[in-house]
Structure 1
Amino acid sequence: METRQGAGYVVKAAWVVLTMAGSVLAQQGVTLRAPTRIPKPTLVYIDTDIGDDVDDAYAVAAALSDTRLKVVGMAGAFGDTALRARMLNGLVKLAGRTDIPIASGTKTANPTEFSQRAWAEKQAAPAPLMAVEAMRRAILTHPGLVILELAPERNLADLLREDPATFHKIGRIALMGGAVRQGYSPGSKPVAEYNIAQDVASAQAVFAAGVPLEVYPLDSTLATPDAAEKQRLAQAKSPFAATLVELTRMHDAASKYGTTLYDVVPVLAVEEGAVCPLTPMRLVVDAKGFTREAAGAANARVCLKLDEGSFWGRLNGDLGAR
């Protein structure tokens, strides 16, 4: 039987042999290179009010297409959450993914038209699963998980209230919401942005919870595709291309505001800081749903300016657009 000392001697001898071999090869002009390490994808959970504005559909398609991200779950949030879950289920099937659980949050009133209802109603319903339980399972399975929050924050606030210990195992929350120094058009005054204003109490709870928070407000999310960009995306080599064209047509027919890809920004920026650089800041949500800068220690990192070149390049790359 080999003793521990003997085993150690064998390991040391092997190391010496390898070192000598490397030295000989170096003298002969041969360079030994360390194997290339492929970084592990960032695990993300998407909480979205998909189906009203079309930006959520682009955000989900981008997340499912990006090899740097791995989506481990998705939930429909706010409004008709069950129909949102059906829409998510349809997009997941287009991606050929069978490993992503789809959940529904608490159904609420919704002042916004579900513009893509006709497409969503054609999709099969996923297995019944409530958002709080789905998030809890995902976080406990993957501590440090990133939540991509693309909706009013009701589902997150419900988890915080029901299971604060699990909530605080979230790695960070990348949130589209708020208006810090401008509103819905460049140079305009800040307003109570939609995702925050629809459920002020939930937003206040999430902002005050202490989990690392990345905020992508209106200041940096007014990404509007021009005609050439729409054409590129329509011709993308992506399983989502034709569906995104159809969903955009439905949305634009129902909305007077056109297509703005608000929710795509945090998805693209969460693992590529050049898309939307972050600034430490203290933000508070007031009773009217305004996100105000405040004195004191930073509770969030906030993107105030989008790098549009990086944004469109990354989106086109993810969706295979030319």
Structure 2
Amino acid sequence: MSVQKMILDVDTGIDDAMAIAYAVADPAVELIGVISSFGNIEADRAAANALRILNLVGAPDVPVFVGHRNPLDHEYNRLPINAQIHGDNGIGDVQLPTPNQAVATQNGVDFLLAAAQQYGKDLTIVATGPMTNLAAALTKAPEVMQQVGNITIMGGALTVPGNVTPVAEANVEQDPVAANQLFTSGLPITMVGLDVTLRTLLTKDETAQWRTTEAGTKMADIVDYYINVYADIYPELGGCSLHDPLAVGVAIDPSFVETISLNMLVTTEHDPYYARTIGDKARLNAPNPNVKVAVAVDIDRYLAVFMHHFNHLFR
């Protein structure tokens, strides 16, 4: 079995925490680093949360780097909804021990480019927060980013409404300028958006299975917070969405989803369509569309693999 070198680019809220755990647990992945971004919480606290989660899941040696602290064209301001969904501390207000390791001093974008230079087509980048770090890397060294083999993002919504506005998904809405730079760059991207993540749900029946160890109980506490919030905000779903861990799963095994290939853009004008992810009318017939948009998901198979990894991790 070939092992993917993977970097996670996260704004460590609860679903990012699950994404980190999934990457650590999957034997097809060598997690070589985690970069933090703003989004669910400030970038510095996202990095601290990532360290705590790595410690919790038995991977304290994975380095964590801080990336951009603000969107490309405005200042970051944490939305009240983010504190509601992810807790004040970003991980369900569950207290985890302060890890011995510290955040790396190297800038996250520089780490990303160094890894891209070193591993090229063997590198997988999964971004589960705003796309600011990717856009910054693309601006700084486009020829290096062109070498990356797999870029998978959790973000956007093509066939369903957004979760911030009727057209905007949260990760894209945090920095539409960066997302548009990425989508129109020509880089091969797989978009794992609300089209599929809203269908991929977890309940307390599953999290209860982790409560056989102290670490598993902590993770269950974190995710149960998320499930409770979903019960209040999205009672029609019947569970919490596995947004970010699904993106990691698809980066490893693309057969979890069905995709359509499209040249896309992100609306950056401040109008009713701000942060919409949509096909680019000017490039509809351009050859070799660069974005694969996930539009259907094998829910049962993905959940079975997800639970296999988590049950093994917290055994």
TM-score (norm 1): 0.78
Matched with 2:87 is 115
- 1:311 pairs, out of 279, 302, 306, with 302
Matched with 1:80 is 42
- 2:223 pairs, out of 245, 248, 268, with 248
In 2, distance between residues paired with 1:172 and 1:190? 29
- 1:97 pairs, out of 32, 39, 59, with 59
Shift in CA distance, 121/226, structure 1 to aligned 2, threshold 3 Å: closer
In 1, distance between residues paired with 2:252 and 2:205? 26
What value does the CA root-mean-square deviation take over the aligned residues?
Answer: 2.5
Shift in CA distance, 77/127, structure 1 to aligned 2, threshold 3 Å: same
TM-score (norm 2): 0.79
Question: C-alpha deviations, 1:146-183, integer Å up to 9, x for none?
Answer: 11010111111111122222222221210111110112
Shift in CA distance, 100/137, structure 1 to aligned 2, threshold 3 Å: farther
Amino acid at match of 2:30: K
1:276 offset after TM fit, Å?
1.3
User: Which aligned pairs between 1:261-300 and structure 2 lie closer than 5 A?
Assistant: 261-287=242-268, 288-294=274-280, 295-297=284-286, 298-300=289-291
The DSSP-based 3-state class of the residue aligned with 2:190 is: strand
1:103 offset after TM fit, Å?
0.3
Matched with 1:62 is 22
The reply on whether 1:139 has 2:125 as its aligned counterpart is no
1:209 offset after TM fit, Å?
1.3
User: Which aligned pairs between 1:1-322 and structure 2 lie closer than 5 A?
Assistant: 39-51=1-13, 54-78=14-38, 79-108=41-70, 109=76, 110-111=78-79, 112-113=82-83, 115=87, 117=89, 118-119=93-94, 122-124=97-99, 125-144=102-121, 145-183=123-161, 191-222=167-198, 223-232=200-209, 234-235=210-211, 240-251=215-226, 256-257=232-233, 259-287=240-268, 288-294=274-280, 295-297=284-286, 298-320=289-311
Question: C-alpha deviations, 1:104-124, integer Å up to 9, x for none?
Answer: 112232223262615578534
Amino acid at match of 1:156: L
Give the structure with higher Rg (CA): 1
Shift in CA distance, 254/227, structure 1 to aligned 2, threshold 3 Å: closer
For structure 1, the 5+ residue unaligned runs are: 1-38
Aligned residues: 277
8 Å CA contact 1:275, 1:307 repeated in 2: yes
8 Å CA contact 1:220, 1:303 repeated in 2: yes
1:102 offset after TM fit, Å?
0.6
Shift in CA distance, 190/80, structure 1 to aligned 2, threshold 3 Å: closer
In 2, distance between residues paired with 1:299 and 1:132? 22
8 Å CA contact 2:211, 2:220 repeated in 1: no
In 1, distance between residues paired with 2:111 and 2:215? 25
The DSSP-based 3-state class of the residue aligned with 2:295 is: coil
In 2, distance between residues paired with 1:115 and 1:300? 33
